[in-house]
Structure 1
Amino acid sequence: MMDIMSCRLKRWPYLLIRIAQQLRTPLQIARHSYHQLNHYYSIRSLQSGVSRRSIRDPYLTKVVQGRSKKPRYPGDQRANQRFGEDSWFLSSTPLAEVMGVADGVGGWRDMGVDAGRFAKELMSCCSGQTELPSFDGRSARDLLIAGYRDLVRKENPAVGSSTACLVSMHRKDCTLYTANLGDSGFMVVRNGRVLHRSEEQTHDFNTPYQLAVPPKGKGDNFYFDKPEMAESTRYSLQPGDLVLLATDGLFDNLPESMLLKILNGLKERGEQDLQKGANQVVEKARELSLNANFQSPFAIKAREHNVLYSGGGKPDDITLILASVEVPKA
């Protein structure tokens, strides 16, 4: 969302054009100035998220990658901010950087329900809450509660259910606030080691905690967990830390050791380098999900719960948000 100051600043190039006309300066000079200034504000907006934040505050360089377990057909509009039945959002405010993922519960397909619609609407509602003046980024769980409340109060809320994982980095104190409900999750990596990560919340094997909007009159037939049940943590970040947020399609197929090997191969932390790393992580997870002989984390968990599983990966939608903590250069 563009702030008022940015709008005012973008009017200056037009004044340059008018002055150039009055002074009979070649119009090309004024147009050149306009494009230079417009490019400057565009780059500034992309780098900082919002121009109103302090130029000294830390920020996140963020990239997104994912794969649907089923290829979508050309022109499928539902794929916007969705990878299959997963969904995600990013938000930058003057006070915080926020990221979220949600995994729509696939069992709704058997009832003819778009299993990804609930996840997408939940993430949209959470994203909308970050734009309110009252949002300061210091409680990801409160954000999840507010976003879910906004969803269920709609006149015709999406029927379905999903897991949810939100993280918010408060700029001033460079602290990560998290909320995780279900088996999506987050991870903080520093100097090649995992220092902080989420824990799964499940009712039973492969049955995660989930937020839901059931069909009218059928609420007793579904898991109906509350956003207040989300596990909430806080963790102090440092420049150079990597923050990873993903659905279970990643964690069920890619062992932590393989994930760290790819991330540790990143020589730089620019957006292009992060995107390359995210692409490699998602592609490796997808490859292993289709490998019938690989002892995936999902197969190992199944064996621990005495669940018959032939082994191999678990075909699933995969969504990954990868971010690096940065501080503005002098």
Structure 2
Amino acid sequence: MVAGSSYIPKLNAEKPLGEDASFICKQVIGVADGVGGWAKKGIDSGVYSRELMKNAELAIQKQSSITTIDLMKVLNEAFSNTKAKGSSTACILSLSDDSLHAVNVGDSGFVVIRDGIIVYKSKVQQSRFNCPFQLGNGSSSDDPSVAEKISVPVIAGDVIVLGTDGLFDNVHDFELEAIVNSGVESWESDVPETLAWRIAQYALDNAKNTEVYTPFTRECFKAGVVRNGGKYDDITVIVANIWPL
């Protein structure tokens, strides 16, 4: 698995680094999205998400096996060692034994694209509309026991797109398929960070568009909320290509 990433933080003078975080380590990739509601209490949850991902990376490096990473152990250790205030979603993936393994908490997630079509998409975990499950030290936050454990068979040529809700709230599945297909045809998939950048830029354009019909528009409608356009947010995208052994 060869991976590359792109990150576009939402412009905010008080939080110049945004609230997303990510890592690529060995055959493991991960993203986290700090929950913005903490800003009302003067807390930058981006500090929490960055510490969580850093601790996840450290936990991976401590495991002796390169090919078989215990993701629940990684998530538990990262959670236990993260002391910052705030809370965050988290999605961590690894490749082993011809399968993609994942642990997911909240509304970050991933898709598997094969021959131009999404063959798997992770589910959103939320207690109610726009309120995702979230790891944190607060009394109302969740712990890793809520994580969904996922295993998906993959083959050479599959493209994995992992991202925060800044991606999935603003880009429909058919749009994501079209961007990835265009990247494969132009050989951009050989440079995952280039394709990740293209996807992130597309998501940003939709996020700033007040007229476009986005996945977030659709979910607002389902929740009885009248709202047009995209959702301006931090956007993290990791693209990973599955190569033959």
TM-score normalised over the length of structure 2:
0.93
Could you tell me which of 198, 206, 209 is aligned with 1:288?
206
Taking the TM superposition and a 5 Å limit, the aligned residue runs for 1:44-193 are: 60-70=1-11, 79=17, 84-92=18-26, 97-134=27-64, 137-151=68-82, 157-170=83-96, 173-193=97-117
1:320 aligned to 2:244?
no
Could you tell me which of 111, 119, 132 is aligned with 1:208?
132
User: Does structure 1 retain, via aligned residues, the 8 Å contact 2:197–2:237?
Assistant: no
User: Does structure 2 retain, via aligned residues, the 8 Å contact 1:243–1:323?
Assistant: yes
CA distance 1:309–1:242, change in 2 (3 Å): same
Measured against aligned partners, the alpha-carbon deviations of 1:221-240 in whole angstroms (never above 9, x if no partner) come to xx321212111111222111
Taking the TM superposition and a 5 Å limit, the aligned residue runs for 1:29-48 are: none
Structure 1 residue 309: Cα displacement = 3.0
1:277 aligned to 2:207?
no
Stretch moving more, 238-247 or 127-136? 127-136
Partner-residue secondary structure (3-state), 1:130? helix
**Structure 2 stretches lacking a partner, 5+ long:** none
Structure 1 residue 203: Cα displacement = 0.7
Measured against aligned partners, the alpha-carbon deviations of 1:187-227 in whole angstroms (never above 9, x if no partner) come to 1111111112210000110000000123xxxx2xxx32121
User: Does structure 2 retain, via aligned residues, the 8 Å contact 1:242–1:324?
Assistant: yes
Cα RMSD (Å) of the superposition? Answer: 1.8
Alpha-carbon distance between aligned partners in 1 of 2:213 and 2:166, rounded to the nearest angstrom: 15
Query: Whose Rg is larger?
Result: 1
Structure 1 residue 269: Cα displacement = 5.8
Partner-residue secondary structure (3-state), 1:168? strand
Q: Which amino acid aligns with 2:128?
A: D
Stretch moving more, 139-148 or 236-245? 139-148
Partner residue, 1:25 = none
- Per residue, is there more strand in 1 or in 2? 2
User: Does structure 1 retain, via aligned residues, the 8 Å contact 2:220–2:227?
Assistant: no
User: Does structure 1 retain, via aligned residues, the 8 Å contact 2:92–2:103?
Assistant: yes
Question: RCO (CA 8 Å, sep 6+): is it higher in 1 or 2?
Answer: 2
Partner-residue secondary structure (3-state), 1:158? coil
Alpha-carbon distance between aligned partners in 2 of 1:71 and 1:320, rounded to the nearest angstrom: 20
Partner-residue secondary structure (3-state), 2:237? strand
User: Does structure 2 retain, via aligned residues, the 8 Å contact 1:88–1:99?
Assistant: yes
Alpha-carbon distance between aligned partners in 2 of 1:101 and 1:137, rounded to the nearest angstrom: 19
Partner-residue secondary structure (3-state), 1:326? coil
Partner residue, 1:297 = 215
